[in-house]
Structures are given as C-alpha cells and as structure tokens.
Amino acid sequence: MNRPRSAGRGRPLLYTSYAQDIAMFNTPGKRWGVAALFALALLAPFAFNDDVVLILALALVAAIGAIGLNLVTGYAGQVSLGHAFFLGIGTYAGAVLGGDPEATRALAFGLPMVVWIPGAGLVAALAGLIVGPLATRLRGLYLAIVTLGLVFLGGHLFKEARFITGGIGAGRRGAALDFFGYRFDQAGPLLGLDLTRAQKQYVLALVLLSIFAVLGRNLARSGVGRAFSAIRDRDIAAEVIGVGLTKYKVLAFTISSFYAGVAGAVFYSIAGVVEPTAFNLLLSVQYIAMILIGGVATISGSIMGAIFIMTLARVTQEIAHYIPYISTQAIGGGLINVFQLEAILYGLLIIGFLIFEPRGLFGIWFRTRNYWKGWPFSY
Amino acid sequence: MSPKKRWTYLPLLLVVLALVAAGCRAAEQEMQPPEDQEQEPAGDDDAQGAQTDVGVTEEPCPNAVNEDNGCIYLGIISDLTVGPFAPLAGPITEAQAAFWRRVNEEGGIAGYDIDATTYVRDNEFNAEVHNRVFQEIRGEVLALAQTLGSSPTLAILDDMRDDSIVGAPASWNSAWEFEDVILESGANYCFESMNGVDWATEQVGTDISLLHIHFPDDYGNDAAAGSEIAAQAHGIEYSAQETPPGRDQQAGAIEAVVSQSPDVLFITTGPQEMVEIVGRAAARGWQGLVLGSGPTWNPALLGTDAAPALEAMYHQVGPWGTWGTDTAGHQAMRDALGDVSEINDGYTAGWVWSYPMRAALEAAAENGDLTREGLLQAVSALTEVDYEGMLPNEAGNYADEPEQGAFRQSIIAGVDTESETGVSTIEDFFTGPTAEEHALDGPCYELG
C-alpha cells in the first residue's frame, strides 16, 4: 500500500485515515517503543536478584488488576472502591480450582492453570455482573460508598468461609502454577535457559500481562471503549446518542472484575499464602492509587502505576537505610525506627506525587515525549 | 539522521543493555554464596575449623564484640510497625538482640560472634510481605532467630525446608511441633488450654460449665481445641465463642458471659479484649474463675478500672514464668536488658525462644558443620536444651517424634500487685492429666 509519508513517519496528531487513528500502535514510535520496553522487560529477570524479580513479578500481576480497575473507573468513570472484593473472589476461586489438594487442608481441586486462571476470572466476573446493576442506579460518591460496602461484605465472607480461606491467621496456599505438568512455581529449565522460581514466575506474569494489556487496549479503542468514555464524560448525553447505560455499566463492572479475578488468583499463587484479612479497604485504595499515580484511562499508566506502588516499599527501604542515625535503629530506641520511616516515606511519596504530578506517571511520559517531539524548539 | 537509520541502532542498544544487565545480576549474585554451595566437595573449611556455607563469614560482625571472631548472621522477620503484634514484637526482637549480645560477650560460639541485628525485617503481619522480605535475606543468613506469625511463616515454610533454614517461631502453635525446621519452645496453646482446664477442675471441681471466648484466628482456635478436649475428658459442660479483635468489639462476648454465666471463663484474646470482657461482665454481676492464655496479660491492666475484678478472678496459663521469676535465665535477661521503659513479657518470650538456637549452633559447631544442613542435623539431634531454668531442659527435645518430644508443661500465674509484671507464679510447671494422655498425632488446629 502506498501510504502517505507522514503516516509512515508518524507525524504526531496527523492522521490520514480513521484506521490509522484507532490503530493499536498508531505511530512507529509507539510500535518500536513497546517492542523495546518488552525486550527490556524480558531482560529484567536477568538484571536483578531473585528478591527483586519476585517483587517485579508481583507488580506485573498487580498491573493486570490495575488495568481492570482502570477500565471501570478510568475509562467508564464508575468509581469503584470494591476492587479488593473482586480480587478476593478471584483469589479464592483460583485457589479452590487450582490449589494442590495435598498441600492444603482447605478445599482444592488441583486443576491445571489453563482452567483456574480463566475460572478465577469468570467467578469474579459473575460477582461483577451481580453488582453491576447497582451502578446503573448510582454514580459518583454514592457508587463509591456502595462498592465500599462490598469490601466489608467480602471481609466477613472470607473470614467465615474457613473451609475455603483457611480462616484468620492461618490462611491457605494459593493455586499451583501448573501448566500441563510444567511448574512455573519451581526452578527449572525454560526455553533452554535454567531459571530460578522467581524468574519463571516473572516470565509467566509478563506473558499474562501482555495478553491482558493488549485485550484491554483493544477494548478501549473499540466501540465498547468509546461507549465507556461517553458514559464517563456525560452519561445523559451518552444515553441520548444511543449508548445503553445499563448494558455498558454492567459490562464495565463485569470485565473489570474478570481482570481483578485473574490478577488476584495469580498474585497469591506467586506470593504463596493468602490470609482472609488481606482483602481490606487498604488494598482497594492501593489499586486506586495505582491508577491515579499511573494515569487515569490509560493502559500503560495502569502498568506504570502498579509497578510504582509495588516497588515503592522496596525503594523506600533502600532510601531509609541511607538516612544516618535512624537507619541503625531497627528496633525500639528513639522516636522512630527504620521501618516506621519506611512507612512515612511511602505516604510522603504518594502525597508528593499527586501534588506535583497530578496526571501521574503517564503525565511525566507525556511531557517528556512532547519535549523531544518539538526538540530543539521545546518552548 | 534518517528515521530508518535511527532504528538500526535499536538492536545494538538492546544488546548493550542486555550485557550491562546480565553483568549486574552476576556481580550481585557473586556477593551472596550460591545456593548449592553445600554440594561443593569440602565447603569452606575456615580458620575456626568448622565447615560453613551461607550466612557465616570469617570477617567480624558489624559492631562486633570480639573483633577476632568470625560472624554468624541470623535473620529476624517480625511485626515491627503496623501489624497487630507490634507492641509485643518490638520487645521480642530487642530481647533477642540482647540475648545474642550476651552470648558474644561470653566469647561467642566456636570462634564466631552472632549477629541478629543486621538482617531484621518488618513483615507488617502480612504473608506476602513476609515472603518478599524473606527472599531479600534468604541468601544472607544461616538461620532465622525469629519468624513471627503463622500464615506469614507458612508462606516461607517450603523455602525454609528446601534450603534447610531453621527458624525460631514467635508463637506457640501446635502445628510447629510437626515442622523439623521450626525451633519452638514451651507448651503450645493447645496443651496450655488443657492444663488450664485441668487446673480449674482442681480448684472448682468438674460439675461446672466452661465458656471459652477466643479470637477467630489460629491462636484462638488452637487454644479452643485444647480446652474442648479437656472439657470432654472431664465431662464439663462446654461452649466456645469467637470474638473479633478490638476493645470496642466485645459486646457480644460480654453478653455471652453474662447470659450463660459460666463457672469458668477461658479467654484467648489480647490483653485489651480480655480486660474489657472480664471488667464489663464483672460490672454486670458475673463471678467465676477466669483463665487467660499466655498472651492475655499486660502489666498495664492493673491500672484500669477492671483491676479489682482481675485481682479477684484472673489467672494466666503461661508457657513459662513471667519477667520477675527467680531463675538464672530470668536474672540474666533482666541484667542484659537493663532498665527497660515498660516491662512486658514479650522480652521474656524473645529471650526464651533464643536458647534452642544457641544450643543448636553450639552442637553444630561441635560437629564441625556450621552449614545450614549441619545446623538442621544438629537440631534434629537435640534432646535437651539448657534454658537456664526458664524451662526444664527436656522442653528442648527436637529429636523425638512430636508425641514423645512435645513439651506439655505450663505454669499458672495469679495477679500479684507486688510483682513488676502484675502476676506471679502460683503453680509451677505441671502437666495436667489431659495433656499427659493426649495423643499428639496431628496439630490441634491445622495451618494452610
């Protein structure tokens, strides 16, 4: 096809066809950029030690959940504080379907990964489908409060359903990462490379995230995604132009919950053990923070935000240990110890971020890109 | 530069990045001993003569007491900030630091100082965080001087078994009796409850009713399992009720005490919940014998309005004597810790839990094998541990099967306003008939 030169070069904001406008990678820069990032991501497990690789693997899985929350809250504008509930439902669905019956006393069927990952998503999606209609009657803060209720409902359910969750304090093991007999939760060879357990978990997380990120991006740029945005920007106007509010709000909750379910199940199978009090309001807030810090209504922002939040604890830990005097106070002693300092730094970083960069990590990227786009005439 | 040409640099850039990245990991990994080092022909035979692998260096510890000694690193993963056990975990960790400082001041173990302060991590009482920080120190420590929490410890148990890393728990779950890598001390919650109920029947007979109010977690359920076994053995009318943590959450528990009016009330909660339940129930006219599991007491309780009720009714069933007890070990602990701002039996627990680790390290050094594998073998050959009188020596039996090896003795302490911790021993170490006869063929309350 004889494309206009500008299309091939990817002049920003100059689109010569509709197909080009909505293409997944609408500029070569994006195409190559994503390829380079993916390559970097593949190298990461070889660049860091296993403890960091484990954190990164968990971050990539959390990113799946963050994309889910961004679909319902960022794209469709339905504020949900109930994400922890859906994460919990998915986690336990996954653990029951895929848990190793010999390794846990809680209910477990030992099904393979190809069954329990979609299964966890489907069970959570079902919960989303049931909750979704609430969103058609409420919006804004009222919806936030109702979804908040879900977290408490879930908290009670998880505590009481001891045959599934193992009970408070005791907990249960997550699902086994068993792909037709190939274990992603044991060290061993993968594609000719001898990998540790954390490295294999990371690779699995990266593959899953790639799949779900592409699906999410496709959803966002399709008719469904545009309907979501229309509802977010003005729901009455959306209805007037023929967007079915009930249908799309319920769809947003269902899809978001599917993402949450998958993320929860895989997250806790990597983390090892899940305890029923984990799915509290704090977890929901953490996911909200991921999409706020990353960038609302962006897929790449969800991923950046998840990586930021999940690695922040480790980063603050490294920083805290460089601060003189306090860094040696592991226990007791003075006003604060190094662990309390970590917690304070964590809070300060989030506050600082939202004050100085309200558009999130995506905003930083956006400005960097614009700077170089106009370079050397940046102003 | 034409756009085409610009992109030709990309693969080159990636290759460079790949090389840098690979170099990074390799360089870092070299700093930690590889995991399979113990399979090397002779291991490291160092100056002190013992074979070593991970977490033992010939260089002195940071802030070493004996500059000429090598260093054995022990990790601690505790609940140091936001978790529910932070008020106890701080003292536990401090006492362990003091314990090992004392060992070092006495010359260390076989030419090594022991460091239990460099690799201290906070688990926020969260299994996922526990696993994360464990991976961080996994390649740096010989063993864990403390791994706090049941579900958190469960999250790393497989890795501990794989790497032969032994660890001292910071709880008294009956499940730990069945784990080779866990160095538990004292009677578990389950035996503790059995002994408590047996003791109560001696005081008030068996024609009684017993209500056990407990936390809904592993601690509460392990204890409740024990009291139920004992109640059945004695033919006591038994009921149990769960209560959530939080002083303001006890209305249901108080109502249960007042309406059921049991002769004996067993409580397995934290101190705040216990004082609320006993104080309020007493204010509404209930009277009876109160038994609390070890962690239900706190000296500050005597300053509350409920103090008269506690003085009249409360008894603590504990795994060992409280802070002020007169034994050589208790004295050493008090001397080592000096003036602590607030006396708390977290200190006592942290101190006692360290003795088996010391005994295991000494035994391993004597065998000339201070590798992880060697330490685990030393643990599984331990038939007794010198607790300096804080526990009988046979409490440190890790060699026998749980049925023979598990320690079943508890003590009963009563409120004593003269004592520094507000309680003092009224019945020294004893095994009740129920615990004596109980066949320990599995944990009272299983984890995971």
- Reported as a single tens digit per residue, the pLDDT across A277-321 is 899 998 998 899 889 888 888 899 999 999 988 998 888 777 777
* Spatial contact of A268 and B128, defined as CB atoms under 8 Å apart: yes
- Which distant-in-sequence residues (6+ apart) come within 8 Å of A112 by Cβ? A98, A178, A179, A180
| Subunit contact B127:A46, Cβ cutoff 8 A | no
pLDDT tens per residue across span B69-108: 999 999 999 988 877 788 888 899 999 999 999 999 999 9
Query: For testing the chain B interface, which of A49, A314, A328, A345 should be mutated: the one with the most B CBs within 10 Å?
Result: A49
Average pLDDT, chain B: 87
Q: Find the CB nearest A171 among B14, B94, B154.
A: B154
Please count the other Cβ atoms lying within 10 Å of the Cβ belonging to residue B204.
13
Residue A120 belongs to some domain of the structure:
yes
C-alpha span between B34 and B43 (Å, rounded): 12
> In Å, what is the CA distance from B88 to each residue of A68, B77, B184, B315, B394?
39, 13, 17, 20, 27
**In Å, what is the CA distance from B91 to each residue of A333, B88, B337?**
11, 6, 10
| B77 alpha carbon, distance to own chain's centre | 11
pLDDT of residue B1: 43
* Contact (CB<8Å) B152/A271: no
Q: Which residues contact A267 (CB under 8 A, 6 or more apart)?
A: A58, A61, A62, A65, A87, A91
Q: Please give the Cα distance from B383 to A40 (Å, whole number).
A: 54
Q: Give a yes or no: residue A53 inside a domain.
A: yes
Shortest Cα–Cα distance, A14 to chain B (Å): 17
The first and second tokens of residue B92, run together, are 């536990």
Residue range B159-163: mean pLDDT, rounded: 92
Q: Average pLDDT in the B388-416 region? A: 91
Total length of chain B: 448
Nearest by CB: A54 against B122, B135, B448: B135
Q: Mark yes or no for CB contact A50/B151 under 8 Å.
A: no
* Pairwise CB contact (< 8 Å): A49 & B29: yes
Inter-chain touch A339–B128, beta carbons under 8 Å: no
Q: How confident is the model at residue B36 (pLDDT cuts 50, 70, 90)?
A: very low
The single-letter DSSP state of residue A74 is I
% residues pLDDT > 70 (chain B) = 89
The reply to whether residue B127 touches residue A49, judged by beta carbons under 8 angstroms, is no
Phi/psi region, residue A134 (left: phi>0; alpha: psi -120 to 50; beta: rest), is: alpha
pLDDT 10s digits, B265-314: 999 998 889 999 999 999 999 999 999 998 898 888 888 999 999 999 99
pLDDT at residue B413, rounded to an integer: 93
Whether B446 shows a pLDDT value over 90: the answer reads: no
Tokens of A324: 């003189």
* Per-residue pLDDT tens over the stretch B323-361: 888 899 999 999 999 888 788 888 999 999 999 999 999
As a whole number of Å, the CA-based R_g of chain A is 22
Answer yes or no: is A98 within a domain.
yes
Instruction: Look at residue B340 in the predicted model and tell me its pLDDT.
Output: 83
> In A100-222, where does DSSP find H-type helix?
113-137, 141-160, 162-165, 197-221
Q: Strand B51-52 vs strand B369-370: parallel, antiparallel, or unpaired?
A: parallel
Report whether A255 contacts A78 (CB < 8 A): no
Longest Cα pair distance anywhere in chain A, in angstroms?
Answer: 73
At B124, list the tokens: 């926020």
Residue B148, Cβ neighbours under 10 Å: how many?
Answer: 27
pTM, full prediction? 0.85
As a whole number, mean pLDDT of residues B114-134 equals 90
- Taking contacts as CB-CB distances below 8 angstroms, the residues of chain B near A168 are 215-218
Q: Which residues of B touch A340 (CB under 8 A)?
A: 80-81
Q: Please answer yes or no on whether A330 and B117 come within 8 Å at the CB atom.
A: yes
Q: Which domain holds residue A368?
A: 48-374
Between chains, do B131 and A271 touch, taking CB under 8 Å as contact? yes
Q: What is the DSSP letter of A99?
A: S
Give the CATH number of the domain where residue A183 resides: 1.10.3470
**Structural domain count, chain A:** 1
Q: Given an 8 Å threshold on Cβ–Cβ distance, is A48 in contact with B25?
A: yes
Q: Which residue matches tokens 């060290």?
A: A187
The pLDDT confidence band at residue B126, using thresholds 50, 70 and 90, is: confident
pLDDT in tens, B17-30: 555 555 556 444 44
Q: Which of A47, A169, A339 sits opposite B217 (nearest CB)?
A: A169
Paired with B44 in beta bridges are: B52
Cα–chain-centroid distance for residue A298? 12
Provide the 3-class DSSP secondary structure of residue A104: coil
User: B11 pLDDT exceeds 60?
Assistant: no
Is residue A14 situated within a structural domain?
A: no
Strand partners, B147: B77, B169
For A27-63, the DSSP string reads: SHHHHHHHHHHHHHHHHHHHHS-HHHHHHHHHHHHHH
CA distances from B275 to B87, B291, B301 (A): 17, 12, 7
The phi-psi region of residue A363 (left if phi > 0; otherwise alpha if psi is between -120 and 50; otherwise beta) is alpha
- Considering only residues 2 to 41 of chain B, which have any Cβ-Cβ distance to chain A shorter than 8 Å? 3, 7, 10, 13-14, 17-18, 20-22, 24-25, 28-29, 32
How confident is residue B43, by pLDDT bands cut at 50, 70 and 90? very low
Q: How does pLDDT run across A113-154, given as a tens digit for each residue?
A: 999 999 999 999 999 999 888 877 887 888 888 899 999 999
A49 → chain B, closest CA residue: B25
Q: Answer with the residue of higher pLDDT: B209 or A361.
A: B209
Confidence of residue B4 (pLDDT cuts 50, 70, 90): very low
Q: Do B150 and A36 touch (CB under 8 A)?
A: no
Q: Does residue A18 belong to any structural domain of this protein?
A: no
Who has greater pLDDT, B182 or B340? B182
Q: Which residues of chain A have pLDDT under 70?
A: 1-13, 324-336, 378-379
Cβ-defined contact of B24 to A47 (cutoff 8 Å): yes
What was the pLDDT predicted at B31? 41
Sign (positive/negative) of CA torsion B423, B427, B431, B434? negative
Region label for B297, one of left (φ > 0), alpha (ψ between -120 and 50) or beta (otherwise) = beta
Distance from CA of A100 to the nearest CA of B (A): 11
Q: Measure CB to CB from residue B131 to each of A105, A272, A337 and give the nearest one.
A: A272
| Residue A23 located in a structural domain | no
- Cβ-Cβ pairs closer than 8 A, A with B, add up to 148
On whether residue A17 sits in a domain, the answer given is no
β partners of residue B292:
B267, B316
Task: Compare all CA atoms of chain A with the CA of B21 and give the residue at the minimum distance.
Answer: A47
| CB within 8 Å: A169 and B150 | yes
CB of B427 within 8 A of CB of B199? yes
Residue B108's alpha-carbon distances to A13, B56, B141, B288, B370, in angstroms, are 71, 13, 17, 50, 14
Round to whole Å and give the CA distance between A272 and A171.
10
Task: List chain A residues with CB under 8 Å of B149.
Answer: 169
> What's the rounded Cα separation, in Å, for the pair A88 and A65?
11
CA distance to A98, A321, A323, A343, per residue, from A352 (Å): 41, 20, 19, 14
How far is residue B237's CA from residue B209's CA, in Å, rounded to a whole number?
5
Please report how many Cα atoms fall inside a 13 Å half-sphere around the Cα of residue A130, on the Cβ side.
10
How many helices (H) does chain A have, and how many strands (E)?
Answer: 16, 6
Provide the CA B260 distance to its chain's centre, in angstroms: 34
A19 within domain boundaries: no
The reply to whether residue B448 touches residue A340, judged by beta carbons under 8 angstroms, is no
Looking at the complex, report in whole angstroms how far the Cα of residue B1 sits from the nearest Cα belonging to chain A.
13
Q: Find chain A residues with C-beta within 8 A of B117's C-beta.
A: 330-331
**Which residues in chain B (230-259) have CB-CB distances under 8 A to chain A?**
none
Which three-class secondary structure state does DSSP give residue B237? strand
Task: Answer yes or no: do B151 and A40 touch at CB < 8 A.
Answer: no
Chain-chain contact of A46 with B25 (C-beta, under 8 angstroms):
yes
| Exposed / middle / buried, residue A344 (Cβ in 10 Å: 0-12, 13-18, 19+) | middle
Query: What pairs with residue B428 in β-bridges?
Result: none
Report the gap between the CA of A137 and the closest CA in chain B (Å). 34
Q: Which residues of B touch A58 (CB under 8 A)?
A: 128, 132
> Rounded CA gap, B184 and B188, in Å?
9
Minimum-distance CB partner of A275 among B22, B151, B445? B151
Question: Which residues of B fall within a CB distance of 8 Å from A332?
Answer: 90-91, 93-94
Distance CA A279, CA B420 (A): 41
Which helix or strand (DSSP H or E) is residue B171 part of? none
* Best CA proximity match to B74, nearest among B109, B26, B126: B109
Spatial separation of the C-alpha atoms in residues B128 and B121, rounded to whole Å: 13
Probe site for chain A from B217, B337, B347 (most A CB atoms < 10 A): B217
Which of B325, B317, B279, B306 has the alpha carbon at shortest distance from B203? Answer: B317
* Residue in A104, A105, A331 nearest the CB of B120: A331
